[in-house]
Every structure is written in structure tokens, then in C-alpha cells.
Amino acid sequence: MTKFKLKIASRRSKLAMVQTLWVKEELEKNIPGLEVSIEAMATQGDKILDVALAKIGDKGLFTKELEAQMLIGHADIAVHSLKDLPTNLPDGLTLGCITKREDPSDALVVSKKNKNYQLESLPAGSIVGTSSLRRLAQLRYKFPYLDFKDIRGNVITRIEKLDSGKFDCIILAAAGLKRLGFESRIHQIIPNEVSLHAVGQGALGIECKSDDKEVLKIIKVLEDKTSSQRCLAERSFLRELEGGCQVPIGVNSKIQDDKIHLTGMVASIDGERLIKDESVGSIYSPEEVGKKLAEKLKLQGADKILLEIFEQFREK
């Protein structure tokens, strides 16, 4: 291959840079002669730290600035935590690659005084930190006696807030903790029966221009077929429900015998209503599996719950 230069747009947070550097190294390793550079920047979601994510109400909180760099020709690709990437992308851009997925589960991280407790045994009134409506709704449904507080900042900042005594425990993505070298802080992997994970959680999504065939060919070397099939089914489910990143929608997916088994959940923020169901279909049409599951949940009232949530935040 002739010498080719590729520029990556990335958030400048520690986790984003760890993920982006991995993509850079893997691309250069797999494609001789490729030179990859990184343009790091802060996104809206990185800058606004004193407001709960759900109240900002923007589906592109962590992606818009990166996408703008590609659209004006200042970057060739953008590396995202796939769970942060909206399901509807700007005209001219596409999700070109989904990488091999890390554990998509949520994880419990506790303060020293709570090291002898699991999530289900925490004393009533324990302060649990999370910025995710999805986690909040599911945990309120299971553990209404716990006290849930919003927590913002990157992974390291949240752990520092926990260790300072502001929280008894916090909930974070297991994948982020592992990638940052904090695997030892994972006190408990939260079972799917308690908290279904976010759509795309644990995978990286590489976005690029839809018509840039050479770049699409380059990034496909990092595509993981199984992870891609699962995540496409999950993203289709979310898209059909018209839910952004900050809504109480959770999923779990697995592949068995050329079939995708997709479980999905929609809950009210107060945790009093939770609708869950499953859809099974071919790995060769993952988006149909997601659509089918979304329709099943809509028939059970999921769209009514989501409309109430959108109205609630619109009023604020």
C-alpha cells in the first residue's frame, strides 16, 4: 500500500485518548505505510459538568465537535465509545467500523467502608452515584430504599469523589474501568437481571465520511463481526424507540447458533414501571431483530413512558 496519512478526531479525556491510541496503534500495525495522527478536543459533554446529562437534552453531547472536524475535512475518522454515538448520524457520515467489544456490563465501585457489601446488601439510605437515567431507573426499580445522586466528570474524577466520602458507591461501565487500568476497583459486576447495559456499551465505533471508500477500507481491518452484529441489533432497537443516549433504555445481546438473542428494557425514571422483553432473529439481519423488539415493547406501553420522559425534560 502506498503511504497514506490518516487523522483521527478524538475527545481529550483520558479514556477517550486510551481508546484512540489503541485504534492508532492497531491501524498502523495492520496497514504498512499508514501514518496516523490524533486531533484531540473537548466536546460539549466534556465542558458542561455542573448539569445532569439528561437535562442538557442533546443526543450529540460527546460527538458533534468530532463530526464537524470530519465534515470540514480536518479529520478522516472519529473514535467514539459506541454508547455515546447517536443512532442517527449527520448527512455524509457513517459508522464505518465496530471494534471487538469489551465486557459491556455495569460495575459497582464502593468506598472502603462498604467493601463487605454487594449492591443487593447495601444498607438503606446508602448514597449511590450515577449520571445515567438507564442505571437510575433500573436500580430504583430493584432497590427503592437506596439514595441515588447524580455524579458528573470522567472516570477518574468520579472515583476521586467516591473516595472523598461524597458517595457510598458509584456505578460505572466495566469496560472503561478495565481500559483505564482500574479493574481492581470493580467490586461487583452487576447482573443483567438487575441492570441491562447501554446500547453499544463496551465497543468502539469508528465514524467516517460515507463516500470515502479508501478510509472505509482501512478501518474495516478493526471490524469485529460478532460485536458488530450485536451492536447493530442494539442500535436498531434504540433508533426505533427514538431514544437518545440519556433515556432509560437498556439492552443485552448474545449470539447462539447464528441467532441474535436481544433483550431490551424501557423504564420510568422513578423506577415504578419497567417493561422488558426479548427478540430472536438471524445474525444476517441484526437490525430487523432490534426493530422487532422495539415494536414488542411499544405494544406494552414503552412509547408512552418515553413520551412522558421527553415531556418532563422539555418542561425543564
- Only one residue has cell 448474545, namely 254
Beta carbons of 128 and 148 less than 8 angstroms apart:
yes
CATH number for domain 225-316, candidates 3.10.450.50, 3.30.160.40, 3.40.50.2000, 3.55.50.30: 3.30.160.40
Q: Which of 139, 144, 172, 145 minimizes the C-alpha distance to 158?
A: 172
**pTM of the predicted model, to two decimals?**
0.91
Residue by residue, DSSP assigns 79-138 as: EEEGGGS-SSPPTTEEEEEEPPPPP--EEEEE-GGGTT--GGGPPTT-EEE---HHHHHH
Q: Could you give the CA distance from residue 315 to residue 51 in angstroms, rounded to a whole number?
A: 16
- Secondary element (H or E) of residue 204: strand 204-209
Q: What is the pLDDT of residue 39?
A: 92
- Secondary element (H or E) of residue 142: helix 133-142
pLDDT in tens, 115-149: 999 999 999 999 999 989 999 999 999 999 999 99
Q: Is residue 81 over pLDDT 70? A: yes
Q: Alpha helix (H) ranges present in the chain?
A: 14-30, 44-47, 53-56, 64-71, 133-142, 155-163, 174-179, 213-219, 225-240, 286-299, 302-315
Domain boundaries, the chain: 1-99+203-223, 106-189, 225-316
Q: What is the pLDDT of residue 153?
A: 86
84 labelled catalytic: yes
> Which amino acid type is present at position 113?
K
- Only one residue has cell 433504555, namely 249
Q: Which of 74, 77, 94 minimizes the C-alpha distance to 86?
A: 94
Instruction: Point out the catalytic residue in the list 76, 84, 212, 303.
Output: 84
CATH number for domain 1-99+203-223, candidates 3.90.1720.10, 3.30.1600.10, 3.40.1440.10, 3.40.190.10: 3.40.190.10
Q: What are phi and psi of 201, to 5 degrees?
A: -60, 135
Residues 6+ apart with CB under 8 A from 36: 5, 6, 7, 8, 24, 27, 28
pLDDT in tens, 195-214: 999 999 999 999 999 999 99
Distances (CA, A) of 60 to 42, 46, 57, 230, 293: 13, 12, 9, 22, 24
- Protein fold of 106-189: D-Maltodextrin-Binding Protein; domain 2 (3.40.190)
Q: Do domains 1-99+203-223 and 106-189 have the same CATH topology?
A: yes
Q: Could you give the CA distance from residue 43 to residue 69 in angstroms, rounded to a whole number?
A: 12
Q: Could you give the CA distance from residue 172 to residue 126 in angstroms, rounded to a whole number?
A: 17
Q: What is the pLDDT of residue 245?
A: 54
C-alpha 307: how far from its chain's center? 22
C-alpha 237: how far from its chain's center? 14
Least confident residue range of 8-17, 82-91, 93-102, 244-253 = 244-253
Q: What is the pLDDT of residue 119?
A: 97
Q: Could you give the CA distance from residue 40 to residue 24 in angstroms, rounded to a whole number?
A: 13
Q: Is residue 114 over pLDDT 70? A: yes
Least confident residue range of 22-31, 58-67, 84-93 = 58-67
Q: What is the CA radius of gyration of the chain?
A: 19
Residue 139 is placed in which grid cell?
Answer: 436500580
